[in-house]
Amino acid sequence: MSLYETILDFLEFIGGIFSAVYLLAYLILGILAFISLKEFYRSKYFLRKTILTKSNQAVGVSIVAPAYNESVTIVSNVKSLLSQEYPKFEVVITNDGSTDDTLAKLIEEFSLVKVNFHYQEKIKTKPVRGHYKSTNPVYSNLLVVDKVNGGSKADGSNAGINSSKYSLFICTDVDCILRSDTIATLAKPFIENTEKVIATGAMIRISNSCEFKDGRLFKSHFPSNFFARFQELEYIRSYLFGRMAWSKINGLLLVSGGLGMFDKETVIDAGGYWHESLGEDFDLIMRMRRLMHERKKPFLIKYVPESLCWTEVPSTFNVFFRQRIRWARGLIQTIRIHRRVLFNRKYGLTGLIALPYFLFFEFAVPIFEVIGILILLLNLFFFEVHSYALMIITVTIYLFYITITLLSVLGDQIFFKHYASQKEMFSLIITVFSEPILYHPLNVVASIIGYYHFFINKRKKWGEMTRKGFKKALE
């Protein structure tokens, strides 16, 4: 047997074991997600949200949203954030050195004046130029922080966290549309649990094609754009399948930057968002978890399976591809930074299960897929290919993938029932079948490029996404 054949034999064996464990992991996640969803819906009569939205005993929450050059939509988006149904909250908008008239529009619309705010820089940020409050009592719960641009969302968020007054805060993007009971829904786990909850997250949906009225969702449609529709599917699977499962075993490593509620004290102690990070949301949760493990304090990170936030996703190839490359870099960067946690018993579930899962099944999968294709090509060139076996196994894997996605979509339909027509359901099903062929390879390529950029230490570039704005419902 030649050396070449021995190497291929070895890789084949490893590849097979890896695939089998991957499928098993998915099955386990599926079961956990199902149990978690069931538990969530069974406990909904424990504390009704209506009590929370009216109680004078409610815990205060700050909504922190950084804005950079959001002049076109800033006023309507801030109004939407201010329309939350909750008795005790404030909205903290950070104008992160916008070069357009974002701040001027805010000042004009909300009658803002500069105030003598004592800024405590508990998390290091770029200099803050000033704080603004409204002279109109209607907007008394709005605070605008004007600062020098920090080149990242993290810096803007940190300035907002430093300026916020409540012990819990929601981190979101200023262009996100939040459901009116978002605060109450995210705060519930903090109130219901006797153990310390350090963060909660919820489902984010895609706003492309949806109709909005008075800053709220009016009608939900399945996106018509090629990239948006695959991302919709990806979000459903990732939130309902993955995150619910990790929440069940308290192993959640990711609370999306688009929407999450956090315990401010823990975030500050963990150092806030890291402005150099390309996956600042993943990195923050990792640091919060590390901190709690090191302090040997029990904690919970809970995920709520409800759609609370709508955001616009990339709808062109360039923007989409750039975003995915950045995500891949963020993933490898975060894993590398927290490598000491890996397989370290001191970090409990985080070190022994959750982070290794991210390493093997989030980071390594694209690499294995590429190696697999390369070996297949080598075999095609140099040996005879067992096409029958290849076909059988490919079909099995494909069907497994489809089943997982369809189960997630069914769960989504049963619990949320989002789409307006049966035609959209057909589109969704067709997307499910075409995703592994048309969309998944793009993600794999973007991931590999992202890893490559990370290893050659290419300078990070955020890029800008041109927003199309929200479609308004017809009156």
Partner 1 sequence: MRIYFFGFKFFETLELISGQVSFLKALKYGIIPLFLTIVFLLIITLLFNHHIHLEILKRKKSVEEATDSILTQLLFGNDSYENMRIAVEVFKFGVPYTRRWCRQFVLERILQMKQIFQLDGEILLNIYKLFEFEKITYGLLRHKKWYKRSLGIYQLQFLHDVAKKKELDLLLKERNSEVKSNALITLISFSPERFAILANYDNPLNKADEIKILDIIYHNTPVLPKKTCILLKSKNTSIVILGIKLLSLYQVPFSEKQVTRLVRFSNFRVRKEAIEAIGKLKMKEANKVLIDQYKIELHKEVKMSILVSFKNIGNQENLELLKSLLNTEQDTDLKFKIIDAIVSLQPYFFEERTNATNTFDQETYSMALHVKDPYLV
Write out the binding residues for partner 1, residues 111-130 only, by CB under 8 A.
113, 115-118, 120
Q: Does 422 bind partner 1 (CB under 8 A)?
A: yes
3-state secondary structure of 112: strand
The single residue among 24, 104, 138, 399 that binds partner 1, judged by CB under 8 A, is 399
The single residue among 213, 340, 346, 386 that binds partner 1, judged by CB under 8 A, is 386
Nearest-approach distance from CB 168 to partner 1, in angstroms: 12
Q: What long-range pairs does 181-184 form, CB within 8 A, spacing at least 24?
A: 181/49, 181/53, 181/84, 181/85, 181/86, 181/308, 182/84, 182/259, 182/308, 182/309, 183/61, 183/63, 183/84, 183/85, 183/86, 183/89, 183/261, 184/49, 184/52, 184/53, 184/85, 184/86
Whichever of 13 and 455 has its CB closer to partner 1, that residue is: 13
- The label of the residue with tokens 């939205």 reads 53
Nearest-approach distance from CB 436 to partner 1, in angstroms: 13
Whichever of 101 and 192 has its CB closer to partner 1, that residue is: 192
Whichever of 48 and 295 has its CB closer to partner 1, that residue is: 48
Distance between CA 421 and CA 265 in Å, rounded?
Answer: 45
Q: What is the gyration radius of the CA atoms in the chain, in angstroms? A: 23
Q: Does 329 bind partner 1 (CB under 8 A)?
A: no
Residue pair 78/176 in contact by the 8 Å Cβ criterion = no
The single residue among 24, 393, 463, 472 that binds partner 1, judged by CB under 8 A, is 393
Residue pair 241/410 in contact by the 8 Å Cβ criterion = no
- Among positions 340-359, residues that touch partner 1 (CB under 8 A) are none
Q: Does 31 bind partner 1 (CB under 8 A)?
A: no
Q: What H or E segment, with its residue span, contains residue 387?
A: helix 387-415
Whichever of 128 and 465 has its CB closer to partner 1, that residue is: 128
* Tokens, residue 402: 């489809």
# residues contacting partner 1 (CB under 8 A)? 78
User: In whole angstroms, what separates CA 66 from the centre of its chain?
Assistant: 16
Whichever of 352 and 429 has its CB closer to partner 1, that residue is: 429
Q: Does 409 bind partner 1 (CB under 8 A)?
A: yes
* Tokens, residue 101: 């008239």
- Among positions 423-442, residues that touch partner 1 (CB under 8 A) are 425-426, 429
249: left (phi over 0), alpha (psi -120 to 50) or beta: alpha
Q: Does 318 bind partner 1 (CB under 8 A)?
A: no
The single residue among 104, 395, 455, 468 that binds partner 1, judged by CB under 8 A, is 395
- Among positions 205-234, residues that touch partner 1 (CB under 8 A) are none
The single residue among 28, 31, 367, 410 that binds partner 1, judged by CB under 8 A, is 410
* Tokens, residue 298: 């029990």
The single residue among 9, 108, 214, 276 that binds partner 1, judged by CB under 8 A, is 9
Q: Does 261 bind partner 1 (CB under 8 A)?
A: no
The single residue among 24, 28, 48, 129 that binds partner 1, judged by CB under 8 A, is 48
The single residue among 400, 427, 467, 473 that binds partner 1, judged by CB under 8 A, is 400
Distance between CA 114 and CA 129 in Å, rounded?
Answer: 10
Distance between CA 9 and CA 3 in Å, rounded?
Answer: 10
